[in-house]
Amino acid sequence: MILSKKHELIKRNFRRFAETEFTTEIQEELDRNGGFNWDIWHKIGKYGFTGVKIPVEYGGQGGDYLSYALMNEEFCRVCPVLGIYANTPNSLGGGPLLQCGNEEQKQKYLAPAARGEKQIVFALTEPGAGSDPGSMTTKAVADGDYFILNGRKCFISGAPVADYAIVYARTDLTQKGGRGISMFIVDMKLEGVSCGKPELKMGINGYPTSDIVFENVRVHKDDLLGPLHKGYGVAMKTLDGGRLGVAAQAVGAAQGAFEEAVAYAKGRKQFGKPIYYNQGVSFMLAEMATEIEAARNLVYAAAEAKDNDAANAATLCSMAKLYATEMANKVCGQAIQLHGGYGYIKDYKVERLYRDVRVMTLYEGTSQVQKIVISRDILK
């Protein structure tokens, strides 16, 4: 797919920001020490990246899905952590509010998130309910003007720094699976809400992930998001868009690793000549470039389908996530191979990219879950 002049320009702007602001020093410091870089967070808010895909009337830039994909791609080419910072409010955090928040909820919660003033996270997964979120046990029981929330969510990206969480809980205890689940906007400062210790992760260090525990938390009924018992479908629709974002992140990270591999193959000499003189090396680079380009085209096609509300948009998003994230794992591994022993050393960017992309075939639905979604569609 050939990008329009407008999208080319948008892509260049994302690249310039990432290369200028998310320096190697910042990347390495976050990877080493974890935590969260508030300075970068405020900058991406100031530039409007936290609201790229959110309508202007709710504090965003009103961009399309293709622009959102380009942002994820270009930010992750430099560092996946930057992509994840900007992705969350546009995707899992803001998505449910955009889909079914009332006007008051959108102004109160979505607009500050789009402007980067507040952070909203998405709390679906539980210790016993990952690929099968319909088996969740977190529950919310009506009590006058409130719901009493009890349960535990796990692996919640951004939880330790969040102001609000979109929490999924069973409200009809007689129902099973996806039925009888509702969504709530939960203020993380409410009594009874607590976060676990940030997980020690293989990669994407610098964006903390933790459990959230709810013990008799009183959530006002005004913070019920969307119709009662109808939250599950919204979660699934939110994940379609999120999967497009992860697919674009994978393309960007693979592109970053590929560029490192090309530069290294040109500079590194063995047997008296640059290693790329060997077809064993140049053919590997040719295959990497081809697979990245194939994934990129699939991502752009899925974005176009989302922008046009096409009937196959959800399937294309799953296909893009499946293909691009598996490709990125392979390409980042090949980039290490081409660096020889140096690729195993932390001084080389490919070592970090290899660890950062590993999660992409896992979160927002594993590769196996994407195959369930795709096969359901083609076999219906």
Residues that bind ligand FAD (CB under 6 A): 121-125, 130-131, 155-157, 201, 209, 359, 362-366, 368-369
Alpha-helical (H) ranges within 1-128 are: 5-21, 24-33, 38-46, 65-78, 80-88, 95-100, 103-105, 111-114
Contact 225, 47 (CB under 8 A): no
Query: What is the nearest approach in angstroms of ligand FAD to the Cβ of residue 237?
Result: 15
Structure tokens at 283: 């053919």
Strands 120-123 and 164-170, how do they pair?
A: parallel
Query: For helices 80-88 and 231-267, what crossing angle results, to 10°?
Result: 160
Q: List the structure tokens of 213.
A: 């525990």
H or E element at residue 328: helix 313-338
Among residues 301 and 322, whose Cβ is nearest to ligand FAD? Answer: 322
Inter-residue contact 199 to 155 (CB < 8 Å): yes
Active site residue 364: yes
d(CA 49, CA 146): 35
CB atoms within 10 A of CB 338: 24
Query: Which CB atom, from 64 or from 125, has the smaller least distance to ligand FAD?
Result: 125
The residue with its CB nearest to ligand FAD is 130
Q: Closest CB to ligand FAD among 197 and 273?
A: 197
For residues 57 and 175, what is the distance between their CA atoms, to the nearest angstrom? Answer: 37
Q: Please say which residue, 162 or 257, places its beta carbon nearer to ligand FAD.
A: 162
Q: State the nearest-atom distance from the C-beta of 42 to ligand FAD, in Å.
A: 21
Angle between helices 349-357 and 80-88 (to 10 degrees): 40
**Minimum separation from the CB atom of position 46 to ligand FAD (A):** 24
Q: Which is nearer to ligand FAD, 55 or 203 (CB)?
A: 203
The kind and range of the H/E element at 164 are strand 164-170
The HSE-up count of residue 231 (CA atoms within 13 Å, CB side) is: 28
Comparing CB distances to ligand FAD, the nearer of 51 and 365 is: 365
Q: Give min distance, CB of 365 to ligand FAD, in A.
A: 6
CB atoms within 10 A of CB 227: 12
User: Which residues are paired to 333 by β-bridges?
Assistant: none
Q: Of 73, 126, 260, 364, which residue is the catalytic one?
A: 364
Smallest separation, CB 158 to ligand FAD (Å)? 7
Q: Which residues lie below 8 Å from residue 194, measured CB to CB, with a gap of 6+? A: 212, 213, 215
Q: How far is the CB of 375 from ligand FAD (least distance, A)?
A: 10
| Sign of CA pseudo-dihedral 328, 331, 334, 338 | negative
Q: Which residue number, 228 or 362, has a Cβ lying nearer to ligand FAD?
A: 362
Signed CA dihedral, 157, 159, 162, 164: sign only: positive
125 or 182: whose CB is closer to ligand FAD? 125
Least separation in angstroms between residue 359's CB and ligand FAD is: 5
Least distance in Å: CB of 69 to ligand FAD? 19
Cα→Cα distances 19→13, 77, 169, Å: 10, 9, 40
Known catalytic residues are 364
